[in-house]
């Protein structure tokens, strides 16, 4: 574009005022830059802000932030922390890049295009909240509260989740952390020991650490990893059952290269061997277990040879592991794991882990499962109200479909109901911090859910693959910009520890939220007002929520801040096994519900000819969708190579670094390609990838389309019958190269 | 014409350009605004381009909403992805609020200016134009030149062609060209946003 004059000449024209004066009348009266009054020139204003609580993963390491001129320039572990100490991991460090990510959501957006093919328009909060409130209210008015489904994730989603569950009254809430992650572990342990196990294992003092599928080193949670490394330094023997030579397998004394899906058979054989050879802890079994006889009979078929055949591992190695555990019991860590939505037979695996721990007497002992005594907090949120089970899909037709479901409703029941409209219509959807397109298997089905809705709202810090399906998209302040949840814990105390210490660490903002980002209490309360629930609002601000929650501990945000962001107080020793602690080796209750009363192996589908089983796990530098677009983390690991057995690779003519795509056994192709990692460290019948790559949302300028989204290939859905939790490792793939499909050799 | 009154005029131009870069809102994006806008465009000899904008605005059922959608796509969050975030650091540091934003803030400080609490980031195009307006109002033409050379042009010359190429609305092509015109001393860096 050419203007017919130069700037200099233009500014010299005599009639300049004739142009400039009309302009001066339409300019904005205020400016964002103003003349300073007193501030000395060149001041840098450096400060250290205490009270950060990381949420690049769920572990909540405690941090301090270095702030310069209101800008967060560095994060470090809080020197006062007795949990992670001064350490934080790569993701924790890179939180700054999430905070200042160019692609982050800044203002409320309205989709004026089609759902799934958005055309965004910035709108005011007022308009956004009016629209969310009125549309959700319309759904409730027309279809009842059960007409709303909620997909929440993360600390900020708890308050709105409680609102929709307790006050609005829908059961249709599906948390990814339960139904696509750890829920089945928790309910299996609940049914076995009456508690969720968390990760309460005293690895630092263990003589043997037994990991089934856990891959520490790739999956990092700072204090947990420290605890594990300390155990290894102290001479613990490490047994790792994994089809892949993981970072943990690489440190192991015994690597059990097990056939995927057969872990329960393996655990049953170990237990049967201990029972048959009287190598179990008879005192613990007598005093703290129920159903030993029925249990022993039930697992008796699992000889070493039978399991060796099923699991494709040597019988001698199963015996070696069992003997090693027995010889070092009770100071052994049988790790309960965390992500456990594997094969759809996972409740039984969780039960088997809980029972094996009992046979070894490894509860409430040094080196075993040892829950710390944490400080108590008050419970503050929306008041719990009873809404009956009439519209609870898990109780539909007076039948409990999944009696061991974690809190909420199993995802598949919600999706089927939303798509079919039966037994009732679900027409409103709230997605809060979760990316169901990448956490829930079968993306096409998820799209059908969104298409069936009258209204979809999403709240997030970043655009993700699900935010493309929002009608209204709201920008949330991140964990670095808000008060929020409180981490409590205790030093990993043993019964003989002299001075155990407890800590309370609430989250404080490191910096002010930028643009128009708002926190969950503001957003939820404003929507609640518009849905007619103003009188039920429990708190007016996040700060108030945290202070009320702190009441039981007799601390406040102000008092803890003055102490450096963490309150320390004398703790209590973890103590011996409580008298009433019982492990259900055989559970009559489970049997009455129609499931096996003793842990039972349920075989999974074998790999069809020409395919490999698709396995996935964590990368050390990524946790969730929200870490994918982070420029530091992206540079550390830009794609997720596919692990391929070296013999298989040679037969397929593939070499390290070759670019490949995928097609699964149901004909679904990967949208993108990745590179091959050729290794002897994986079985021939499976391939492995890190989770969380290949997002499609083009609003993500860094990670969009990089690597392969393994979730897009997980189209076959397995449901764990007891819990309703997804199993996601029953999908089979072939590799593709240059348009050709490669049959995996037998 | 005195230097002071030219500075005053230039100050208005900068302030007006800052206005043009605000999120479209009928509160200010009204008849008076467009009259002043097209008057400026005409004076600079870009009458046919001005006419094209007018045609598009009159043909659109909701011209302000069309501009809002385009503003969101270009500068906030869009699909494919945000085209041209209007922040210096994005181009100089590949991040929001990087070292370049701090340098910009330091320059404001050194000249005795601060950011208001509710302002956007210091290196946002609007605030840089406001700052230029305030500087020339104080007749600090040396400061204006230094700021343009060291902190404005280096990123703006990446930003401007990106918008020019990617925008689907001629209004924003014109706005970035106007800003380019007022922030380029001819033969200084020889840069023309649209050399053709
Ligand atoms: S383990 Fe890493 S990502 Fe997780 S909370 Fe700690 S520092 Fe953050």
Cβ atoms A340, A351 nearer than 8 A: no
Q: Give the tens place of pLDDT for each residue, A120-142.
A: 999 999 999 999 999 999 999 99
> Residue A696's pLDDT is what?
62
Probe ligand 1: pick from A220, A221, A618, A621, max atoms within 8 Å of CB? A221
Q: Which atom of ligand 1 is nearest to the CA of A623?
A: 3
User: How far, in Å, CA of B61 to CA of B42, rounded?
Assistant: 25
**Among residues 2-31 of chain A, which lie with CB inside 8 Å of chain B?**
2-8, 10-12, 14, 16-17, 19-28, 30-31
Q: Chain A residue closest to B16 (CA)?
A: A27
Dump pLDDT digits (tens) for A204-232: 999 999 999 999 988 889 999 999 999 99
The rounded Å distance from CA A76 to ligand 1 centre is 11
pLDDT band (50, 70, 90) for residue B193: very low
How far is ligand 1, taken at its centre, from the CA of residue A505, in Å?
A: 15
pLDDT band at B40 (very low <50, low <70, confident <90, very high): very high
| A632 vs B: CB within 8 A | no
Q: How far is the CA of A89 from the centre of ligand 1 (A)?
A: 6
Q: Closest CB to A120: pick one of B33, B73, B102.
A: B73
- Do the chains contact at A36 and B133, CB–CB below 8 Å? no
CB distance A91 to ligand 1 below 6 Å: yes
B68 touches chain A (CB under 8 A): yes
> Whose Cα sits closest to atom 1 in ligand 1?
A221
In this prediction, residues A29-53 reach a mean pLDDT of 80
A480 lines ligand 1 (CB under 6 A): no
- pLDDT tens for A293-328 read 999 999 999 999 999 999 999 999 999 999 999 999
Query: Ligand 1 centre from A506 Cα, in Å?
Result: 15
Q: Out of B44, B113, B122, whose CB is closest to A5?
A: B44
The answer on pLDDT for A448 being more than 50 is yes
Report yes or no: A650 at the B interface, CB cutoff 8 Å: no
DSSP string, A679-734: ESSB-TTEEEEESS-----TT-TTTTT-S--GGGG--S-EE-TTT--EE----EEE
B190: pLDDT strictly greater than 50:
no
Peptide bond into B80 cis (omega under 30): yes
Q: Do B119 and A32 touch (CB under 8 A)?
A: yes
Q: Cis before residue A742, ω within 30 degrees of 0?
A: no
ipTM of this complex:
0.86
Residue located nearest, by CA, to atom 4 of ligand 1: A57
Mean pLDDT of A660-670: 94
Q: Is the CB of A220 under 6 A from ligand 1?
A: yes
Q: Tell me the pTM.
A: 0.90
CB-closest option in B35, B65, B113 to A22: B35
B24: three-class secondary structure by DSSP: coil
pLDDT in tens, A564-588: 999 999 988 777 899 999 999 999 9
Q: Is the CB of A57 under 6 A from ligand 1?
A: yes
Q: Do A36 and B113 touch (CB under 8 A)?
A: yes
Is-contact B135 B31, C-beta < 8 A?
A: no
Whether residue A59 has its Cβ less than 6 Å from ligand 1? yes
User: Crossing angle, helix A304-311 and helix A263-276, to 10 degrees?
Assistant: 170
Kindly state whether B33 is in contact with chain A, defined as any CB-CB distance less than 8 angstroms: yes
B49 touches chain A (CB under 8 A): yes
Q: What is the 3-state secondary structure (H, E, C) of A146-162?
A: HHEEEEECCHHHHHHHH
Question: Which DSSP letter does residue A394 get?
Answer: G
Residue B141 Cα to ligand 1 middle (Å): 50
B42 CB within 8 Å of a chain A CB: no
DSSP assignment string, A535-572? GG---SSHHHHHHHHHGGGT--HHHHHHTTS-EEEE--
Residue A62 Cα to ligand 1 midpoint, Å, equals 9
What distance in Å separates the CA atoms of residue A109 and residue A128, rounded to the nearest whole number? 8
What pLDDT score was predicted for residue A724?
A: 95
Contact indicator for A709, A693 with CB cutoff of 8 Å: yes
Question: What would the pLDDT profile of B115-163 be if each residue is shown by its tens digit?
Answer: 998 899 999 999 999 999 999 999 999 999 999 999 999 999 999 999 9
Band of the pLDDT at B188, cuts 50, 70, 90? very low
Q: Are A284 and A578 in contact (CB under 8 A)?
A: no
Distances (CA, A) of A329 to A197, A210, A357: 19, 12, 9
Confidence band for A481, pLDDT divided at 50, 70 and 90: very high
CA nearest to B161 within chain A:
A1
CA–centroid distance, residue A367 to ligand 1 (Å): 24
Taking the CA of residue A58 and the nearest CA in chain B, the distance in Å comes to 25
pLDDT on residue B14:
96
Q: Is B177 on the interface with A (CB under 8 A)?
A: yes
Q: What's the CA gap between B161 and B149, in Å, rounded?
A: 18
Distance to chain B for A630, nearest Cα, Å = 10
Of B29, B54, B83, the residue nearest A26 (C-alpha): B29
Of A23, A33, A704, the CB nearest to B131: A33
Is ligand 1 within 6 A of the CB of residue A222? Answer: yes
Rounded distance, CA A657 to CA A641, Å?
Answer: 8
Among A53, A54, A219, A692, name the best residue to mutate to test ligand 1's pocket (greatest count of ligand atoms within 8 A of Cβ). A54
Cβ pair A291, A598 in contact under 8 A: yes
A101 and B CB contact within 8 Å: yes
Q: Distance, in angstroms, between B153 CA and closest chain A CA?
A: 15
Measured between beta carbons, the chain A residues lying within 8 angstroms of B43 are: 10, 19
Which runs of E-coded beta strand occur in A104-165? 109-111, 120-122, 148-152
Mutate which: B77, B144, B163, vs A, most A CBs within 10 A: B77
Q: Is pLDDT above 90 for A525? A: yes
Which atom belonging to ligand 1 lies closest to the Cα atom of A93?
7
Contact A71 B23 (CB under 8 A): no
Residue carrying the six token digits 């290794």:
A679
pLDDT at A495 over 70: no
Answer yes or no: is pLDDT of A596 > 60: yes
Please tell me if the CB atom of residue A633 comes closer than 6 angstroms to any atom of ligand 1: no
Question: Quick check: B113 and A34 CB within 8 A?
Answer: yes
Whole-angstrom CA distances from A508 to A207, A504, A547 are 39, 12, 12
Q: At what angle do helices A443-451 and A411-420 cross, to 10 degrees?
A: 50
pLDDT of residue A421: 97
Question: B74 to each of A103, A177, A630, B80, how far by Cα in Å?
Answer: 12, 35, 21, 10
Nearest CA among A101, A161, A205, A194 for reference residue A515: A101
Q: Which residue in B6, B97, B162, B188 has the most chain A C-beta atoms within 10 A of its own C-beta, making it the best mutation to test that interface?
A: B97
A69 closest CB neighbour out of B6, B102, B134: B102
**A125 Cα to chain B: minimum distance (Å):** 14
Chain-chain contact of B40 with A26 (C-beta, under 8 angstroms): no
Q: Would the CB atoms of A109 and B76 count as touching at under 8 Å?
A: yes
Q: Residue A697 has what pLDDT?
A: 58
B107 shares contact with chain A (CB less than 8 Å)? no
Contact A27 B76 (CB under 8 A): no
Is B44's CB within 8 Å of A515's CB?
Answer: no
């Amino acid at each position: 574009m050419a203007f017919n004059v130069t700037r200099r000449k233009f500014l010299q024209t005599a009639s300049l005022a004739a142009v400039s004066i009309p302009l001066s009348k339409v300019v904005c009266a205020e400016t964002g830059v103003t003349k300073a009054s007193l501030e000395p020139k060149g001041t840098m204003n450096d400060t250290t802000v205490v009270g950060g609580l990381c949420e690049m993963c769920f572990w909540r390491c405690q941090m301090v932030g270095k702030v310069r001129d209101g800008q967060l320039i560095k994060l470090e572990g809080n020197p006062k922390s007795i949990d992670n100490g001064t350490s934080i991991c790569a993701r924790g460090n890179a939180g700054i890049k999430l905070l200042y990510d160019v692609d982050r959501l800044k203002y409320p957006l309205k989709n004026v295009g089609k759902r799934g093919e958005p055309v965004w328009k910035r709108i005011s909060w007022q308009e956004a909240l009016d629209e969310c409130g009125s549309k959700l209210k319309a759904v409730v008015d027309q279809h009842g509260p059960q007409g709303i489904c909620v997909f929440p994730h993360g600390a900020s989603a708890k308050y709105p989740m409680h609102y929709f569950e307790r006050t609005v009254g829908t059961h249709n809430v599906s948390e990814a952390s339960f139904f696509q992650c750890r829920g089945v572990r928790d309910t299996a342990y609940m049914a076995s020991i009456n508690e969720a196990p968390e990760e309460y294992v005293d690895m630092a003092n263990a003589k043997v650490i037994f990991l089934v599928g856990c891959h520490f080193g790739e999956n990092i949670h700072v204090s947990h990893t420290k605890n594990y490394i300390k155990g290894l330094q102290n001479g613990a023997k490490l047994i790792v059952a994994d089809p892949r030579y993981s970072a943990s397998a690489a440190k192991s004394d015994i690597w059990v290269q097990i056939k995927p899906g057969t872990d329960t058979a393996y655990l049953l054989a170990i237990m049967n061997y201990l029972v048959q050879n009287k190598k179990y802890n008879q005192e613990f079994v007598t005093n703290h277990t129920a159903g030993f006889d029925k249990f022993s009979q039930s697992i008796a078929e699992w000889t070493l040879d039978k399991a060796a055949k099923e699991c494709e591992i040597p019988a001698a190695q199963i015996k070696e592991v069992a003997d090693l555990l027995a010889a070092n019991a009770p100071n052994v860590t049988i790790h309960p794991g965390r992500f456990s939505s594997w094969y759809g037979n996972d409740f039984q695996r969780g039960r088997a882990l809980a029972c094996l721990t009992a046979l070894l007497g490894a509860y409430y002992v040094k080196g075993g499962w040892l829950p710390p005594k944490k400080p108590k907090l008050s419970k503050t949120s929306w008041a719990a109200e009873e809404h009956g089970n009439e519209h609870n899909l898990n109780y539909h037709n007076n039948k409990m479909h999944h009696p061991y479901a974690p809190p909420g409703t199993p995802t598949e029941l919600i999706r089927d109901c939303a798509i079919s409209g039966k037994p009732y219509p679900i027409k409103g959807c709230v997605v809060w911090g979760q990316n169901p397109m990448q956490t829930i298997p079968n993306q096409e089905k998820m799209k059908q859910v969104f298409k069936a809705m009258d209204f979809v709202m999403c709240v997030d810090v970043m655009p993700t693959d699900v935010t493309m399906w929002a009608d209204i998209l709201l920008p949330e302040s991140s964990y670095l910009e808000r008060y929020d949840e409180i981490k409590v814990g205790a030093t990993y105390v043993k019964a003989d520890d002299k001075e155990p210490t407890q800590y309370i660490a609430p989250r404080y903002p490191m910096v002010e939220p930028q643009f128009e980002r708002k926190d969950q209490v503001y957003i939820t309360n404003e929507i609640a007002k518009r849905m007619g629930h103003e009188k039920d609002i429990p708190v007016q601000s996040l700060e108030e929520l945290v202070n009320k929650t702190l009441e039981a501990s007799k601390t406040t945000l102000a008092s803890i801040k003055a102490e450096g962001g963490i309150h320390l107080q004398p703790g209590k020793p973890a103590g011996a096994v409580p008298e009433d602690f019982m492990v259900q080796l055989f559970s009559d209750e489970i049997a009455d519900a129609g499931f096996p009363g003793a842990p039972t192996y349920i075989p999974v589908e074998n790999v069809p000819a020409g395919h490999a089983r698709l396995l996935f796990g964590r990368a050390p530098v990524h946790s969730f969708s929200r870490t994918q677009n982070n420029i530091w983390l992206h540079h550390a690991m830009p794609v997720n190579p596919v692990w391929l057995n070296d013999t298989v690779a040679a037969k397929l003519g593939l070499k390290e670094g070759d670019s490949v795509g995928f097609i699964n056994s149901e004909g679904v192709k990967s949208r993108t390609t990745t590179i091959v990692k050729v290794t002897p460290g994986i079985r021939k019948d499976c391939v492995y990838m890190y989770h969380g790559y290949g997002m499609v949302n083009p609003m993500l300028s860094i990670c969009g389309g990089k690597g392969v989204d393994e979730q897009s290939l997980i189209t076959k859905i397995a449901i764990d019958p007891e819990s309703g939790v997804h199993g996601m490792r029953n999908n089979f793939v072939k590799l593709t190269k240059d348009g050709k499909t490669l049959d995996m050799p037998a | 014409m005195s230097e002071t009154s030219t500075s005053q005029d230039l100050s208005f131009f900068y302030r007006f350009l800052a206005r043009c870069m605000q999120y479209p809102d009928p509160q200010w994006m009204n008849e008076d605004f467009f009259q002043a806008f097209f008057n400026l465009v005409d004076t600079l000899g870009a009458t046919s381009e001005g006419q094209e904008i007018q045609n598009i605005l009159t043909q659109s059922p909701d011209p302000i909403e069309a501009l809002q959608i385009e503003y969101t796509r270009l500068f906030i969050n869009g699909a494919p992805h945000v085209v041209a975030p209007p922040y210096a650091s994005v181009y100089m540091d590949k991040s929001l609020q990087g070292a370049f934003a701090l340098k910009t803030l330091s320059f404001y400080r050194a000249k005795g200016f601060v950011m208001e609490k509710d302002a956007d980031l210091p290196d946002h195009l609007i605030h840089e134009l406001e700052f230029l307006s305030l500087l020339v109002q104080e007749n600090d033409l040396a400061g204006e030149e230094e700021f343009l050379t060291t902190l404005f042009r280096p990123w703006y010359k990446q930003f401007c062609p990106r918008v020019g190429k990617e925008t689907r609305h001629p209004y924003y092509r014109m706005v970035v060209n106007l800003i380019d015109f007022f922030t380029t001393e001819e033969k200084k860096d020889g840069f023309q946003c649209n050399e053709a």
